[in-house]
């Protein structure tokens, strides 16, 4: 199936295909190895979280802030 054929599909059908593709990628996560830089960055972020235990902001607060900026 080429991209022109995909564009001819209804949006609902294309969304379904995207969801199926995403699910298949998620199931094969082991096939996607992290680079050394990515691993170091994840370790840095985890260390920073463990140091201050800041769990961030509640979702509603984040959404309210975003909506105010729109």
Model confidence over 27-41: pLDDT tens digits? 887 778 889 999 999
Q: What is the mean pLDDT of residues 45-66?
A: 91
Question: Are 40 and 70 part of one and the same domain?
Answer: yes
> What local confidence, expressed as pLDDT, does residue 38 receive?
96
Q: Which domain holds residue 12?
A: 1-32
Residues 38 and 28 in one domain: no
Judge if 37 and 63 occupy the same domain.
yes
Give the residue, 35 or 56, on which the prediction is more confident: 35
On whether both 16 and 44 belong to a single domain, the answer is: no
DSSP 2-52: -HHHHHHS-HHHHHHHHHHHHHHHHHTGGGSPPPHHHHHHHHHHHHHHHHH
Say whether pLDDT at 2 is over 80. yes
Please tell me whether the overall predicted TM-score, pTM, comes out greater than 0.75 for this model: no
Q: How many domains does the chain have?
A: 2
How many CA atoms lie less than 13 Å away from 27 in the CB half-sphere?
A: 6
């Amino acid at each position: 199936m080429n991209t022109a054929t995909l564009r001819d599909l209804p949006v609902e059908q294309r969304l379904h295909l995207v969801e199926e593709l995403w699910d298949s990628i998620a199931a094969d996560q082991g096939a996607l190895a992290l680079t050394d830089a990515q691993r170091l960055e994840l370790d840095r972020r985890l260390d920073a979280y463990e140091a201050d235990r800041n769990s961030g902001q509640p979702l509603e607060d984040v959404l309210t802030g975003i909506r105010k900026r729109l």
